[in-house]
Every structure is written in structure tokens, then in C-alpha cells.
Amino acid sequence: MKYKRSLLKLSGEALMGGNEFGLHSTSLKQYAEEVKKVVDMGGQVAIVIGGGNIFRGFSSSRIREKIISRINGDYMGMLATVINGIAFQSYLENIGICTNIQTAIKMDPIVEPFEKDIAIRYLEKGRVVIFVAGTGNPYFTTDTAAVLRAKEIKADVLLKGTRVDGVYTKDPEKDQYAKKLENISFDMAYQMKIKVMDQTAFILANENNLPIIIFDINKEENFKKVISGEKIGTLVYKNKKLWKN
Ligand code: UDP
């Protein structure tokens, strides 16, 4: 196994499957199965869950723009991640994976508060930990929360599960000559303005030397393959030498 402890960022978009909103049961089941495969081979899995399938603070809805402030919208977005976290915990536990949820915003009877040392202990015991409520602060995203939590729990890698299988030189849907990149530096990722993760997250990961792998989470076995060290998706790195062996 190449990456013993990983942090998987699951976006709200992934959780809604083919739907336009909310949760898609088949997708949740499928992701839970993929997580189980990694846990079964001894991998330690933490997850930061998004909320965009329910609410995005910077949504351009005219009604929201006029009535709900950006900050309140962001808090609503963070609460949306709690809903997703509870849902995904249920799907994991349903297939026998013990799962704890830790939140950046305290809500006692529902989920535990975030504590890095306790989270690490859970992971060492083979439990999955889902981090919800992002960073706990407005104006951030769950991508940034994923980098932050990955560093705090000393994860070996951050995995960004998406619907595409990596970073391309151009938009593969528009350009037949678009090529998938096996790895790129953070510097290149900034220059290319790739949209698969937000720039704040990339900057934080670069400054703190956290490798990110962007891969297609919908393809069966992909999560396990990435953890095992197979070259799936695109690796975004700070120092190539540190991460290639
Ligand atoms: N959010 C926030 N602070 C955070 C994380 C999230 O304010 O630290 C809010 C923000 O409004 C965001 C929403 O929660 O739009 C949902 O998170 P995100 O867009 O990152 O979810 P994803 O795109 O992964 O589904």
C-alpha cells in the first residue's frame, strides 16, 4: 500500500449522482463500498464531505443574493455538509464500517467536535472519520478544509474524487487533442487555472507540501488502486522527487 492514511474529499456534486440536487442513494452505496475496499486492506480513511448538492454560499440565486447574506449563506452551506456527513455515515455503517463524524462547528447531540488527536486514534483503530462543517468559517470551501484536515491528521495524501479522471491540457469535451496529465506541479496548476479544486486549497497544499491526486471516484476500484500506488488520475505535487518512488 503506497498511502496508509488518506484523506478523501467527496464533493456534494458526487453525492447527487445524476440528480440535480440532494442525495443519490446508488452513489452513496457505491462510494461506501469503495471506502470499504480500502479499509479492508488496512488503509486509514478520513473524509471531508462537501455540501454543494444542497447549498452553496456563493450561489447566484437572485432571491438569496438579496435576502440571505454571503456569510449566512456560507453557514447554511456548512450545515449542508453535516446532512451529507450523517447520510454517508449511515451508508458506511450499513455495510459494517464503524464511522465517527467530527464537526468544525459544535452541535453536541448530533456529532462530535473536531479533535485531531481523537481523529487519529479512530483512524488507527480502523474506523473511518468524516469531517463536516468545512473549516467552520465563511468564505472558505470544503476543498480548503480537506487540505487543512489532511495536514492536521498527518495524512499521506489528499484524494479529490471527481467525475473526471484527472487534469487535461485542454477541455477534453471540446478539444480532441486534449491530453491527460499524469502529474503536474502546483505552479503549473496555478498557471493552468484548473478549476477542479479551489485556488486557496492549492496554495495551502503547496505551502505545506501535501500531494493531491485528482481521480475519477465513479470508476469501480479506483480509490483502492490509487491507495495501492497505481497511476490513476493526476498527481499534483510540490516536489516531484519527494513523491515518486
Ligand atoms: N463553506 C464555508 N466554509 C467552509 C466550507 C464550506 O463557508 O469552510 C460553505 C460554502 O458556502 C460552500 C458550501 O459550504 O459553498 C458547501 O461547500 P463546498 O462548496 O466546498 O462543497 P462541494 O463543492 O464540495 O460540494
CB 16 within 8 A of CB 55: no
CB 82 within 8 A of CB 110: yes
Could you read off the pLDDT of 135-165 as tens digits, one per residue?
A: 999 999 999 999 999 999 999 999 999 888 8
Atom of ligand 1 nearest to the CA of 136: 8
Single-letter amino acid, residue 201:
A
Could you read off the pLDDT of 172-193 as tens digits, one per residue?
A: 778 888 899 999 999 888 888 8
Atom of ligand 1 nearest to the CA of 138: 7
Could you read off the pLDDT of 167-177 as tens digits, one per residue?
A: 998 877 788 88
Map out the domains of the chain with their CATH numbers.
5-237 (3.40.1160.10)
CB 208 within 8 A of CB 152: no
CA-nearest residue, atom 3 of ligand 1? 140
Please give all residues whose beta carbon lies within 6 A of any atom in ligand 1, as ranges: 11-13, 50-52, 56-58, 73-74, 77-78, 80, 134-135, 137-138, 140-143, 145
Pocket of ligand 1, candidates 141, 158, 160, 214: which has the most ligand atoms within 8 Å of its Cβ, to mutate? 141
Say how many Å lie between the CA of residue 125 and the centre of ligand 1. Answer: 29
pTM score of the predicted model? 0.94
Could you read off the pLDDT of 38-72 as tens digits, one per residue?
A: 999 999 999 999 999 999 877 645 455 568 888 99
Residue 199: burial class (beta carbons within 10 Å; 0-12, 13-18, 19+): middle
Atom of ligand 1 nearest to the CA of 78: 14
Handedness of CA 104, 235, 124, 120 (dihedral sign): negative
Integer Cα distance of 50 and 10 in angstroms? 6
* No. of helices (H) and no. of strands (E), the chain: 10, 11
Nearest to 143 by CA among 79, 207, 214, 87: 214
